Structure 1
Amino acid sequence: MLASSTAFGIYIVVSRDIAYNRLEDQYQFVMLLVALENIPSIFSVAAGGLGDVIGRRKLVLIGALSSLPLLLMGYLPVNLLPLLAGAFITLWTIGSPSVTGALLDATSSSGLQYSFYAMFGSIGWGIGGLLGGVLLGLGSKSIPFTVASIVILLGFLTAYAFYPSHAVGKSASFRDVGNGIQKVSWIFITITLLFMGVTMLYGSFAIKLRGIVGSPELFGLVYTALPAITGSIVRPFSGILS
């Protein structure tokens, strides 16, 4: 969780900075970017079920492939960023439920243990955002995207190497997966659309904020690091209360 969130923090700060610098179409660009970041979330339900059929550990390796489009973002033309973002999020969405599933298996779905897992997500988000701003300040988008790709690759490979044997899955059929998706489909679609609306608003806010703070370093600090401090404090308490 720490590695993925750190990589995401870097990605978010750098991608929003790129959108800000597209003065001719910055808002249209960030809306397209946000849309292609959110649409792949539909794979998360299917990916979780697929892991129960073919084995969750295999999907972790697919998640590791998300490092490739993340790396390419630093070297290919900016116009391809939304498409690469869609590929990145799709691969990450396929692999990440298997990592979370292993945690829930290992802790018997403990709310307290999951809250600490989420706390490290907040910490990584803050570190990544701050690091992304600093690396972007060096003058090249290739540096932060390369670092982010290495971080997320190491995170997935570590999860694969230490994946608990009792949590590998293979306990369901494709019919079970289909039935499960059917039961939650409307709820999931509703939540996805609501989340997409919020993130589009957040994307517009990012453009405004980037213009106000004046530098990528300060942008990373304000946009991710400060909210992450709050999240890392609140999340363990929510687990205790659960």
Structure 2
Amino acid sequence: MKVACVTLGCRTNQHDTAEIQTLLEQEGFSIVNGKEKADAYVINTCTVTQRSDTSSRLAVKKSLAINPDALVVFTGCYAQLNPEEASEMHGLDIVLGNADKLEIANLIKRKLLNPGQPWRKSASTEIIMSDIHKRRIFRTIPVRNFQGMTKAFIKVQTGCDEKCSFCTVVRARGKSVSDTRENIIHNIQQAVTSGFKEITLTGINLGTWGMDRNETFSSLVRDIVELPGDFRVRLSSINPMEIDSDLIRLMAETEKLCSHLHIPLQ
């Protein structure tokens, strides 16, 4: 059976989609382009702006226009913040929270491949929503294939502890949690072995990696650029208060680390 994934928003979402695709392939599903006919569509949404909400809703309509009988799963930040609103969309089958994303493959398998209950669209939408604010453990899986991508996105951190009045991220992604240094190194080594020449480190509040572990983000970056292999490292958006002198020094010392920063200044 075929599954298509449509991704909106940030690079962290792109990594989340790559994880979902990896799990789906492990369950025997074929991954196809979002413009192709599929048995199921996963819409990984964004809600950073009103336009993002509109694009997320439009992705559902486009998917159903291709295959009205498809299973449609709505996940990501829009789904997390507005599950009831999302559930009212015509043709939507499942609304899934950010903390439950890694369950998508098993969920789709149970829905589409249940021999005792052949798949048929229901008039109601199922909402599956764990409390993301109770999450204390960073969950990720190794990803070898980023569909249609020439670079690998490695998520090292998620969530945010800031309370910026203009931002909904803390409600959509929960508190800041970091992956372990060892697991990050392992995931990067796998990506390099798979042939990726550019590694982009991503996170919801990237520069806060390690604060929950008494470690610094710049020390992680140093360990990464010292790994053997022909690849370069790029940083996704990082807040100015998380840029320390060690990170600047590292950019000056090695060509392996791309020498520019994307800094939000709200």
Q: TM-score, normalization: structure 2?
A: 0.21
- Higher-helix-fraction structure: 1
Which one scores higher on RCO, CA 8 angstroms, separation ≥ 6?
Answer: 1
Superposition TM-score, scaled by structure 1 size: 0.22
Q: Name the larger-Rg structure.
A: 2
